[in-house]
Structure 1
Amino acid sequence: MELRQFQYTLQIAEERNFSRAAEKLHIAQPSLSQQLSKLEQELGVMLFQRNTSSVELTHAGESFIVHARKIMDAVEQLRQEMDDISKLRSGRVIVGSMPITGSHLLPYVLPVFKETHPGIQITLLEDTSLNLEKLTASGGTDLSLLSLPLQEPSLTYVPIGEEQILLAVPPGHPLASRTSTSGGVRMEELQEEPFIVLKKGQGFRKLTVGLCQEAGFEPKIVFESNNIETVQSLVAAGMGITLVPRFIARAKRSELIPVYVPLAEPVPSRTLVIAYRKGRYLSKAAEAFIDTFKETLTSRMGQD
């Protein structure tokens, strides 16, 4: 068996089509078919069931794909480790990010990283928290910016910062005048309030609902959105209230601005982390990105 045969088989399994797989691999389709047949003859089993309309994995093929992925991942990690040894100033890091949190933090992190490590390429993937955990567990990303708790047991993480949670209310709301000196707003006081939250699949929605449940009530959700900016605009327009991470609290130059009010002690917060798969080799480039993220985040927290 050859490594390229593993690669070819994985691509066919992903595309379920020989023509598309050959195109992605930049080889001729007859060559791809020939290599697969050679592999199947060596193994003594059929890996794919072919017909005129589809290509499906056989039982043997499904087992082969599981092991082939592990082998190719191990080979890639070995190459990366050897590359780090020979070229300390080069590398590539695939970073997963929650769109909302990433859009507020990465514009500060990436320029600093690019300036200090110009030879390292960063590839950014944005998705929901749930999908990012799956991507990171399967090796689709090297690192992912997430918040605790993590659902995927195969992941580990490096904490990079603690972020205070604020209450956002419309201007003129009875709670808008609360300050930290007056003790802030207790979560129990929000039981009858209409909540505007992010849609399911986003980590901060789960945190919001969890804080309400800890306070003994289910939030009365009146609107949902995929976009935290839309959520804040609806709050500012008087349609309800919401919880907002401090880093995402809208800049004062925005037209529709909610009033941000501190919550009572113990002040809720979320822990931002850089997650990666347990046992995965972290390249020097990945370690440098984590360090830059932590340093930049600490600097931003000091300015706020």
Structure 2
Amino acid sequence: MNEGRASSLAPALAQLAALAVEGTVTNAAARSGTSQPTLSRAIAAWERDLGFPIVTRSGRRVALSEQGRVLAAAAADALDTIDDALRQVRGESARPTLTVGFLRSLGPTVAGELITSFLRGRPDVVVVHREGSSAELADALAEGRMDITITAPRPPERLGWMPLGRQALVLVVPAGHWAAGREDVALADVRGEAFLALDRRFDARRRADALCASAGFAARIVLEADNLLTVRDYVAAGMGIAVLPADATPSARTKSVLIRSDDASRSFGLAWDPHRLPDDGRDLIRHAETVSAKYPGWADVLG
């Protein structure tokens, strides 16, 4: 246990927050100072008491549900507040805080893996997570509300940039759709179907529109949303299909199918304002460079 830390005062919050940065219950249990069976029972109890799923499971991998993401973020904030209070009581200086923004589709894999491995070597840093569209992340950098972002496309030249990887754009269909069993599909083959989409603030939406135009049609959009998981949920409900950035969120109700086009992917990377970047942000960039040199392609999300 982390005696003398907020986790010893609020173990349930520590367990919930650990799920946000670890891919298995076993690792989350170790991070929060408990056992895997204890954490598994705790998750089941939370879900039973609250009436909604905290996590989704695929084999041994665990991903937070949409509701779980909200609760885990609140748990992390609460732990930080308690830790700050403990430091104040002891007369200690505040821990450095680094605000990192990222595209939602890059959260479970790229942001989670990069930040988790960074914090293992820098446990003194508090990382604040912020999700947003590419436009929202760019505005936040410009206004100094974020220190560094994981985003696409490449921002204006005045901002720093480090490429991290490539992300596929895939066709997301209901599990019973005729394309669900295909390895790939040409968008022209689904031109007559109803489409669901992210709103136009998102780089992924603009790229999806361009892919459809290259296939010779304008998609018939029947619903727009500002949340990737919301669009996927409507696809699962059979309301239509969608061109979305690939992610690692497991789903038994939808299938992601590769799009037969050389343009069905985008590059993404770290962006920052060189005039505002704190030293801990520079450390995160150096850590990303080290990881990329040691594990080429680690950040690619290719379907």
TM category, shorter: 0.5 to 0.7
**Counterpart of 1:289?**
284
C-alpha separation between the residues in 2 aligned to 1:137 and 1:302? Answer: 27
**Counterpart of 2:206?**
206
The answer to whether the 8 A contact 2:172-2:254 is kept is: yes
C-alpha separation between the residues in 2 aligned to 1:220 and 1:93? Answer: 41
Deviation at 1:222, TM superposition (A): 0.9
C-alpha separation between the residues in 2 aligned to 1:263 and 1:290? Answer: 32
Deviation at 1:224, TM superposition (A): 1.7
Q: Tell whether 2:256 aligns with 1:260.
A: yes
Map 1:133-144 onto structure 2 (within 5 A): 133-144=138-149
Aligned residues: 205
**Counterpart of 2:272?**
276
The answer to whether the 8 A contact 2:154-2:161 is kept is: no
C-alpha separation between the residues in 2 aligned to 1:232 and 1:214? Answer: 23
AA at the equivalent of 1:125: R
**Counterpart of 1:10?**
none
Deviation at 1:147, TM superposition (A): 0.8
C-alpha separation between the residues in 2 aligned to 1:207 and 1:289? Answer: 29
Cα distance change on mapping 1:159 and 1:91 into 2, 3 Å: same
Q: SS at the partner of 1:175?
A: helix
Deviation at 1:269, TM superposition (A): 0.7
**Counterpart of 1:15?**
none
Map 1:144-293 onto structure 2 (within 5 A): 144-150=149-155, 152=156, 154-179=158-183, 184-248=184-248, 250-251=249-250, 254=251, 257-266=253-262, 268-277=264-273, 279-280=274-275, 282-293=277-288
AA at the equivalent of 2:265: S
C-alpha separation between the residues in 2 aligned to 1:194 and 1:149? Answer: 31
Instruction: Give the unaligned 5+ runs of structure 1.
Output: 1-89
Cα deviations by residue, 1:36-77 (Å, 9 ceiling, x for unpaired) = xxxxxxxxxxxxxxxxxxxxxxxxxxxxxxxxxxxxxxxxxx
Deviation at 1:209, TM superposition (A): 1.6
Q: SS at the partner of 2:126?
A: strand
C-alpha separation between the residues in 2 aligned to 1:303 and 1:132? Answer: 23
AA at the equivalent of 2:130: L
The answer to whether the 8 A contact 1:167-1:244 is kept is: yes
RMSD across aligned positions (CA): 3.0
The answer to whether the 8 A contact 2:170-2:259 is kept is: yes
C-alpha separation between the residues in 2 aligned to 1:131 and 1:267? Answer: 24
AA at the equivalent of 1:168: V
Q: Tell whether 2:114 aligns with 1:118.
A: no
C-alpha separation between the residues in 2 aligned to 1:216 and 1:103? Answer: 34
C-alpha separation between the residues in 2 aligned to 1:169 and 1:108? Answer: 27
AA at the equivalent of 2:162: V
Map 1:17-32 onto structure 2 (within 5 A): none
C-alpha separation between the residues in 1 aligned to 2:169 and 2:219? Answer: 16
Instruction: Give the unaligned 5+ runs of structure 2.
Output: 1-94
Deviation at 1:266, TM superposition (A): 1.9
Residue identity (%): 25
C-alpha separation between the residues in 2 aligned to 1:303 and 1:267? Answer: 13
- Highest Rg: 1 or 2? 1
Deviation at 1:302, TM superposition (A): 9.3
Deviation at 1:144, TM superposition (A): 1.3
Cα distance change on mapping 1:218 and 1:155 into 2, 3 Å: farther
C-alpha separation between the residues in 2 aligned to 1:258 and 1:127? Answer: 23
Deviation at 1:127, TM superposition (A): 3.0
Cα distance change on mapping 1:293 and 1:102 into 2, 3 Å: farther
Deviation at 1:290, TM superposition (A): 2.7
AA at the equivalent of 2:113: Y
C-alpha separation between the residues in 1 aligned to 2:96 and 2:214? Answer: 44
Deviation at 1:283, TM superposition (A): 4.6
C-alpha separation between the residues in 2 aligned to 1:192 and 1:299? Answer: 37
